[in-house]
Amino acid sequence: MKQKPIAALAFLSLAGGILGIAMTSRNAEAQTAQNPSANSNQLQTINCFQYYKFGSVKLNFAPEKYTYAAGDTIKFKGTVTNENAYPVADGGVYVKIYRRDKQGAQAQNGEFQVSQFWGVENLPLSAKQQRETEFQYQLPTGLAKGEYLAQFFFTSAGKYYLAGLPFQVATAGGAASFKIDGAADKAIYFDKENVQVNGEKYDFRAINKPVGEGKEILITVPLWNPTETPAKISLRKNLFYWDDLNAENLLAGSNDTLVIPPGQKQDVAYTITKPERSAYLLQLTASDSRIGQTTINIRPLVSGISQARLSYSGLASFPLVKSGKSVMFACFHNTSDGGSEGKVVLTLKDEEGKTISQKAYEGKISSEVMGAAQEISPDKNYGKVQLAAELYDKTGKLIDSSNQTYDCGQFNPGICGDSPKSPSSPVKAGVPQEAKFFALDWPESPTAKWLRKLTPLLVVLVAAGLAAGVLIATKKFGKGKNKPKNKTS
């Protein structure tokens, strides 16, 4: 008899859990029906991750051969795959080249970076498209022989991350190895193990403790010349806001020259006297054509500074079809916990610059990634449009923006044709985050459909389970004579 109430409770828990999942699916359907109207004057808030999926573009590149000499031109060939159900405009592949640390897995702060560059630009991707592409890069002269690593990243509009985080050494969208032979054993390098920010050791594989608001930031980086030749170094210092992908993020730049004796080091120092941004990226690049090139990126964070930024924007389908439906959307967040007031404006224009739609969200921008969207129902076909996303602070100052061009001529051949058709299952807006599991795969997934059809039966089973539980409890505990006697051992 003791096991019956337990069995009943276990049954109720299982049935209730399944019922909860089924009801979530039903709620997803109900919420999906409340898509933003094309006649609405404002952007409707949505779950950003309905559209934005980090890692949704896959990169697979390899060098044309394995072994090179310093100064050679290296060619990479590969594929870029868009796993999203919508097109990605203004795509680009960003590349970082590293000389592998001989410590291997024991290297606490990654490899020794040599350079970074845009491998491919203006690479639009149709929905679910895989594109073959290639690029080449001339390796710097004077590099030390050894194993090298290329890391690949993919962005949209030169700022939205879809594969890898370029400012984080441990988060690449893809990688490939190659070797440099026939060169010297040693070359100049920045000592990544002994970088300091305000006297504290900097960890390249972690999120470091933010610097307090209003405090000066002093960054010191040892630069070594391990060769037997005096190093006559050209040193470039660039300070960016957030990352180095977009030239608009460059805050300051300077050139310097250094002479470092053989086997010696010199500390390179940089001071941010009055930090006004929530995140900086200091990029140092040192080169001597005889004994190599080295670069390093240090990203100090600043606490207490409220600053919003765009996270992603795009169109849910393209081309735009007369009387069809699509969605323009944007994601955004604040870089501090407190959040701030702000305004996001999405403007869609045709190739002549005429506005097709312009909508805005105005209100709180939190540290959690937010989303806003608007349904589009054009009055004619559009084969080329431009989507502009603008972010304003509470004073009306423009603090972030992007422009993405959608052009039939640049996407997969045949995407438009003479009579473009509306997508058979366009991405929908207005789905809450808790329903994401079911709502991201339209049309309705077989599991969700099965659970939805099973819901009436589950309700009956839950009711029967409740009745059984009540009956068992009543028989066992309801009458005083049936109450169990206390036992002692």
Considering the domain architecture, whether residues 222 and 344 belong to the same structural domain is answered as no
pLDDT band at 427 (very low <50, low <70, confident <90, very high): very low
Considering the domain architecture, whether residues 71 and 44 belong to the same structural domain is answered as no
| 368 beta partners | none
pLDDT band at 102 (very low <50, low <70, confident <90, very high): confident
Structural domain range at position 213? 57-298
CATH number of the domain encompassing residue 225 = 2.60.40.10
Provide the pLDDT for residue 85: 94
pLDDT band at 253 (very low <50, low <70, confident <90, very high): very high
Considering the domain architecture, whether residues 332 and 224 belong to the same structural domain is answered as no
Residue 151 near residue 96, CB atoms below 8 Å = yes
CA distances from 264 to 22, 69, 206, 259 (A): 67, 26, 29, 10
Q: Round to whole Å and give the CA distance between 371 and 310.
A: 10
Considering the domain architecture, whether residues 208 and 350 belong to the same structural domain is answered as no
Mean pLDDT lowest for which of 64-68, 417-421, 433-437?
433-437
Where among 265, 298, 331 does a domain terminate? 298
As for how many domains the chain has, the answer is 2
Q: Is the pLDDT of residue 31 over 70?
A: no
Considering the domain architecture, whether residues 123 and 216 belong to the same structural domain is answered as yes
Q: Round to whole Å and give the CA distance between 401 and 10.
A: 53
Angle at 137 between CA 254 and CA 255, to 5 degrees: 10
| Residue 359 belongs to some domain of the structure | yes
Residue 268 near residue 284, CB atoms below 8 Å = yes
Provide the pLDDT for residue 440: 24
Q: Round to whole Å and give the CA distance between 268 and 185.
A: 24
Considering the domain architecture, whether residues 262 and 337 belong to the same structural domain is answered as no
Considering the domain architecture, whether residues 262 and 398 belong to the same structural domain is answered as no
Q: Which residue has the higher pLDDT, 213 or 74?
A: 74
Where among 298, 325, 356 does a domain terminate? 298
pLDDT band at 105 (very low <50, low <70, confident <90, very high): low
Q: Round to whole Å and give the CA distance between 397 and 247.
A: 20
Considering the domain architecture, whether residues 94 and 146 belong to the same structural domain is answered as yes
**pLDDT for 372-409, tens place per residue?**
999 999 999 999 999 999 999 999 999 999 999 999 98
Mean pLDDT value across residues 462-489:
40
312: Cα within 13 Å, side-chain hemisphere: 25
Q: Is the pLDDT of residue 410 over 70?
A: yes
Provide the pLDDT for residue 385: 96
Provide the pLDDT for residue 35: 53
| Residue 453 belongs to some domain of the structure | no
Q: Round to whole Å and give the CA distance between 38 and 31.
A: 17
Provide the pLDDT for residue 8: 29
Mean pLDDT value across residues 137-144:
94
What percentage of the chain carries pLDDT values higher than 70? 75
Considering the domain architecture, whether residues 41 and 177 belong to the same structural domain is answered as no
| Residue 19 belongs to some domain of the structure | no
What percentage of the chain carries pLDDT values higher than 90? 66
pLDDT band at 339 (very low <50, low <70, confident <90, very high): confident
Strand order in the sheet with 398-407: 355-365, 340-350, 384-393, 398-407
**pLDDT for 456-473, tens place per residue?**
444 344 344 444 443 444
| Residue 414 belongs to some domain of the structure | yes
Mean pLDDT lowest for which of 107-111, 142-146, 234-238, 435-439?
435-439
Q: Round to whole Å and give the CA distance between 180 and 112.
A: 14
| Residue 292 belongs to some domain of the structure | yes
Provide the pLDDT for residue 37: 54
| Residue 11 belongs to some domain of the structure | no
Provide the pLDDT for residue 337: 77
Go through the chain and tell me how many residues it has. 489
| Residue 198 belongs to some domain of the structure | yes
Residue 4: its H or E element: helix 3-32
Residue 44 near residue 373, CB atoms below 8 Å = yes
Considering the domain architecture, whether residues 63 and 173 belong to the same structural domain is answered as yes
**Nearby residues of 228 by Cβ (< 8 Å), 6 or more positions away:** 262, 263
| Residue 287 belongs to some domain of the structure | yes
In 3-state terms, what secondary structure has residue 313?
strand
Mean pLDDT value across residues 129-137:
96
Residue 426 near residue 412, CB atoms below 8 Å = no
Mean pLDDT value across residues 209-217:
92
Provide the pLDDT for residue 214: 87
Specify the pTM.
0.78
**pLDDT for 85-95, tens place per residue?**
999 999 999 99
Where among 298, 326, 347 does a domain terminate? 298
Considering the domain architecture, whether residues 207 and 241 belong to the same structural domain is answered as yes
CA distances from 119 to 64, 92, 140 (A): 15, 8, 15
Mean pLDDT lowest for which of 12-26, 189-203, 287-301, 386-400?
12-26
Mean pLDDT lowest for which of 300-304, 398-402, 439-443?
439-443
Considering the domain architecture, whether residues 121 and 155 belong to the same structural domain is answered as yes
